[in-house]
Amino acid sequence: MITYENLHDTLSFYSIDCRQSYYISSGNPIFDFPDAPFRMDYYALCICTAGEISLEIDNEIYHVDAHSFLVAAPSTIVKFLKTSHDFKMKLLFFDKNFLIKNISNPFIIEKMNLFSKGSYSIVKTNEKNSELLQSLLDYLKKKSKKQGKFTEEIVRTIIFNLLLETADIMEKKTDLNSEKEDGKKDIFLKFTAMIRENIRQHRTVQFYADQLCVSSKYLIEVIKKASGKTPHQVIDDTLLKEAYVMLGNPDITISEIAFELQFNSASAFGRFFKKHTSLSPSEYRNRENIQS
């Protein structure tokens, strides 16, 4: 069984050369999808323009139809399950470093509140909003084909426009703009970014509190308010994502995964995985038909 550990590999499934900093789809019907889950290593905006699709995102199953969109950050794990015969989607993948070039705030994307589920959101909107986003994607594709002196800046500006329009559609009426709330939001964003970078080496709340120069008590308060979860739960969620991706690779043994994820033993890893999924790692592999 082939395992796609990142989006580059998945795009290669469709013979798409994605060495650029962004990719815009044609919007043509898609009839073939990779069987294995894959981890996003790009930011993504995907709009269902017709038909329906069922997919699993971070171990949650969703059914998406026309005028719905998915916006996702790197580390999100996606698995395609089933599509209708008339399914179509338009999508954009882009690299964050490309987008924030010459911008001093590295968390500008996260500050748009695009990821209500931690690293992704699925939103059902109306035809008017869907057509707005689609028209911007079409414009982006048109401009990206014209190689000129300012093409890169034009593409970057259109992507920002797309994200801001998406954020505007998703905007909630609650006021989160006070300086105090913005400061807490920054801590939450830095915390989640640090976890993604350090999850295989560090899993204690105190480590991240020390890195952020706050007390563990204050970190717990901020993360709980921002996500509804404790820092430890956020850490476990991220660790579980890593486990899913590694278990999807049949060339890695369960013992090797336990070692890579810094568990004391394969049985300790098994207990962690079963606690969160109700399956042992081997049962999960059997269910997903992941065999070496």
Q: Please report the sign of the dihedral spanned by the C-alpha atoms of residue 235, residue 43, residue 5, residue 260.
A: negative
Amino acid at 47: I
Which residues make beta-bridge pairs with 258? none
Amino acid at 156: R
Which sign does the torsion angle of CA 30, 34, 39, 42 carry?
A: negative
Q: Count of H helices and E strands in the chain?
A: 11, 9
Please state the separation of Cα 154 from the chain's center in Å.
Answer: 25
Helical axes 231-247 vs 266-277, angle rounded to 10° = 110
| Residue intervals in the chain for CATH 1.10.10.60 | 179-287
261 with 200: CB under 8 angstroms? Answer: yes
Token pair listed for 262: 């810094």
Q: Which helix (H) or strand (E) holds 226?
A: helix 216-227
Q: Can you list the residues of the chain whose pLDDT is less than 50?
A: 1-4, 173-180
pLDDT tens across 19-32, in order?
678 888 877 776 67
pLDDT of 183 reads 64
Q: ∠ at Cα 234 (228, 238), nearest 5°?
A: 145
Residue 140 near residue 92, CB atoms below 8 Å: yes
Return the CATH architecture of domain 179-287.
Orthogonal Bundle (1.10)
Separation of alpha carbons 257 and 46, rounded Å: 31
Residues of the chain with CATH 2.60.120.280: 7-170
Q: How confident is the model over 199-239, as pLDDT tens digits?
A: 888 999 999 999 999 999 999 999 988 888 899 999 998 89
CA distances from 105 to 92, 153, 181, 205 (A): 22, 18, 17, 25
pLDDT of the residue at 111: 79
- The whole-angstrom distance between residue 182's C-alpha and the CA centroid of its chain comes to 22
pTM: 0.68
At the top level of CATH, which class does the domain 7-170 belong to?
A: mainly beta
CA-to-CA separations, 39 to 120, 162, 212, in angstroms, rounded: 12, 23, 27
